[in-house]
Every structure is written in C-alpha cells, then in structure tokens.
Amino acid sequence: MAPDPNARRTIAFVNLGHALDHFLLLIYPTAVIAIAAESGLAYGELIGLSTGAFVAFGVLSLPMGWLAARFGRRSLFAAFLLGGGAACLGMAFSGSPLAFAFWLTVLGAFAAIYHPIGSTMLVANAERLGRALGVNGVWGNLGAALASGITGLIAALLGWRAAFAVPGLVCLAAGVAFLALVPDERARPPAAAESSAGVRFAHPLLLFMLFAVAVVAGGLTFNFTTIALPKVIDERLGTPLPLWLTGSLATTVFVLGALMQLAAGRLVDRLPLPTLFLALSTLQPLGLGLAALTTGLPMLVGLALAMSAIYGQVVVNDAMIARFVPGEWRARAFSIRYFLGFTTSGFAVPMIAILHGTGGFVAVLAVAAAAGLAIFGAALALALLARPAAPELAAAE
C-alpha cells in the first residue's frame, strides 16, 4: 500500500489492531451464554454488566486526539494493545458480577484508544485511501466475525475463562512486537495524506449536524447487531444449535459484511462519497426490518444484508473525515466521530436487555430498523447539500 517500509509495518499493525479491538470487545457477548449456564444468572442481567465497557469505549475516545498530540500516537497505540491484553487476563481470573463489570470497563477504556489513533495512523501512511480503508475495515470485521466462532469454540473446549485468556496473551505479544518493530512517527516527516488541506463546504455546520445524526444512529445499529447477533441466531433460527455452531453462523454473517467493506473501499476511490453513503443507507432498514419480521433462513439473509450495509457505512464515514478534514485536525475529528458513535451506542447494551425482556428480539431488531431509517434520512440530506464551496480545491487523500 505504501512504499516506505515503516509505513507498511505501521499499516500492518493498524490492521491487526482493528481485528483485535473488535475481537476483544465481542468475546463477552458470546462467552456470556456459557457464563449464564455455569452461574445460573439470567442473560439480561449478565449482558448488562458490559454496559461500562461500551460507555468507556465511546466516552474515552473523545480525548484521544488531544492525547496523541501530547504523548504521540505510537505510545497510545502500544497502550491499547498492552492494556487490552491485561484486561482480558483480568476477566479470565474474575469470579463475580462486580469483577466482570470492572474488567469489562477497563477493557473498554483501552479499546477506546484504537479508532481515533489507528484511523489517523492509517490515513497518514496510506497511498490509496479507499483501498487502505477497505482493507482495514475487513480486518476489523474479521475480528468481530472470529470473536463469535473462536469464543464459542474455546469456551466449549476449555471453558469461558480460556476464551478471554488466549486472545489476551495474543494482544500482549502484539504490543511487544509493535514497540520493537515500529519507530516513533514523530521522527518521520508527515505524509501527504496527513498534511492535506481538506475541502471547504458551503454549509459546514449543517453538514456536520447531519453527519452526527448518521454517526449516532449508525452506532446504535452497529452495536445492536454485533452484540445481539449470537443470541438472535440462538433464539430465532428455529432449530436448537450447540454454542460452537451458533458462533460459526454469526461468524459467517460478519464475513459477508467484510466483503462489503472491500467493495466499499474500492468504490470510495471511484464515486462521490455522499452518493455512495446514500446507496448503502437504503440497505440497513431493509435488512433489519426483514430480520425483525422473519425467522430461520430469511432472518439470516436480513442480518447479512444489514451487516453488509453497516460495515460499508463505517468505511464511508472514515473516508469523509480523511478527505474533508485538514490533516492537522484529523485525529481530533476522528475522536469526535467515534465519541458520538460509540458513546451513544454504549446505551445499546441496556436497551438490548430491556427490549429483549419486554418484546424479545423482534423489538430489538425493530428499534434497530428505526435507527436505520434515521441514517437513510441523514444520508439523503447529505447527498442533496454536500456541494463544495470552492470547486477548484481537489479532494485530499
């Protein structure tokens, strides 16, 4: 992707970090099925213990752009890998709901580092923006996909504690390797993508507000689907399945989303971003609505359609910041973008618990479909209003 060896190594670790970030956060939603069976506690009570993780994941993403300016992106990225691994080991040795809530919150705090810092590092080192974002998105999607299948398999063979310990050790090893192989970026001159000026728009405040609506609603649909997916399949497939097979089906749905991210990344380099965003936004309410109204195979098709659109939107959102925000403000812009998306989406956990308790996953998926409609409305308005104030300025990559 980039000719500089340091840039290639940086991108490789950023991609690996994306997979680990989503993997670590999604161990618990599958492991909780085994924990519930062992402890006798209800699913709704146990899944609610992860609320702190997802709130910390969102809230603590906000200061990361400013912290990067003070301590350096390399230091923060290493802290993400080492701290996330340590939190997983803490979970593996936990034995009470209070300890689960504590270590999950610690995990969310370290996981919050990745997206603002990793996205900025990726843009700074990428030669082709769309392709780099698409490939990076696939790594994140594969991390989410493998979390369900690998967690289910390890939990079935070795117990749920090993399902946290094994990836925790992998994360620690990745942190040590990153520090050994990737030099401090501040010792290198900034890349062209990092120092570009961005594009000026005629209605920047209105466009920001519409983008914020899409990000917030997208955070809800993202977390509703990724967190609830294993249990949705477990309850609504219509056929009793062992945990490892439930996790494998969830993995298949996530892999389909990964394929859409590859396609979206390539389309970013070819189509206007507002137009691409509008096209993807039509698929979310359609897929989530289908999943809410059906069971069995049609439900899986709806989930796959929604997941593809949700992960494609992530690529487009990051591309908008990379192209339209000046380089010196990108880390802060990514922090605000992920703060809005992840903080609001952190409320998806208690919402899932409440909605599941009152109306089952029909209610959960129906609310997710309503959020998808909000994304479509924002995307339509963005497509109509996004006209550069200075057409002579080229989009920056």
Which pLDDT does position 114 carry in this prediction?
94
Please enumerate in sequence order all residues whose Cβ is within 8 A of that of 318, keeping only pairs 6 or more positions apart, or say none. 119, 123, 133, 334, 337
Asked whether residue 35 carries a pLDDT value surpassing 50, the answer given is: yes
Secondary structure element (H or E) that encloses residue 244, with its range:
helix 243-268
Contact 288, 307 (CB under 8 A): no
Asked whether residue 314 carries a pLDDT value surpassing 50, the answer given is: yes
pLDDT band at 345 (very low <50, low <70, confident <90, very high): low
- Rounded CA-CA distance 167/172 in Å is 9
Q: Which of 94-98, 202-206, 217-221 has the lowest mean pLDDT?
A: 202-206
Which pLDDT does position 391 carry in this prediction?
47
Per-residue pLDDT reduced to its tens digit, 233-262: 777 776 666 766 776 777 777 777 778 888
Of residues 389 and 217, more confidently modeled: 217
What single DSSP character describes residue 6? H
Of residues 203 and 60, more confidently modeled: 60
- Rounded CA-CA distance 379/279 in Å is 9
pLDDT band at 303 (very low <50, low <70, confident <90, very high): confident
HEC string of 180-196 equals HHCCCHHHCCCCHHHHC
pLDDT band at 37 (very low <50, low <70, confident <90, very high): confident
Which pLDDT does position 392 carry in this prediction?
44
Of residues 163 and 254, more confidently modeled: 163
The CA–CA distances, whole Å, from 208 to 34, 264, 386 equal: 43, 22, 10
Q: Which domains does the chain have, with CATH numbers?
A: 5-385 (1.20.1250.20)
Question: What are 388's strand-pairing partners?
Answer: 201
- Rounded CA-CA distance 206/105 in Å is 34
Burial of 157 (0-12, 13-18, 19+ CB in 10 A): exposed
- Rounded CA-CA distance 20/18 in Å is 5
Contact 88, 171 (CB under 8 A): yes
| Percentage, residues of the chain above pLDDT 70 | 89
- Rounded CA-CA distance 280/260 in Å is 10
Asked whether residue 87 carries a pLDDT value surpassing 60, the answer given is: yes
Mean pLDDT over each residue of the chain, to the nearest integer: 82
DSSP output for 247-316:
HHHHHHHHHHHHHHHHHHHHHHTTS-HHHHHHHHHTHHHHHHHHHHH--HHHHHHHHHHHHHHHHHHHHH
Provide the token pair at 70: 């003070």
Q: What single-letter amino acid sits at 304?
A: A
Give mean pLDDT, residues 361-384: 88
Burial of 53 (0-12, 13-18, 19+ CB in 10 A): buried
Which residue reads 């060896």 in tokens? 5
Asked whether residue 393 carries a pLDDT value surpassing 70, the answer given is: no
- Rounded CA-CA distance 296/359 in Å is 18
Question: What are 201's strand-pairing partners?
Answer: 388
Q: What single-letter amino acid sits at 74?
A: R
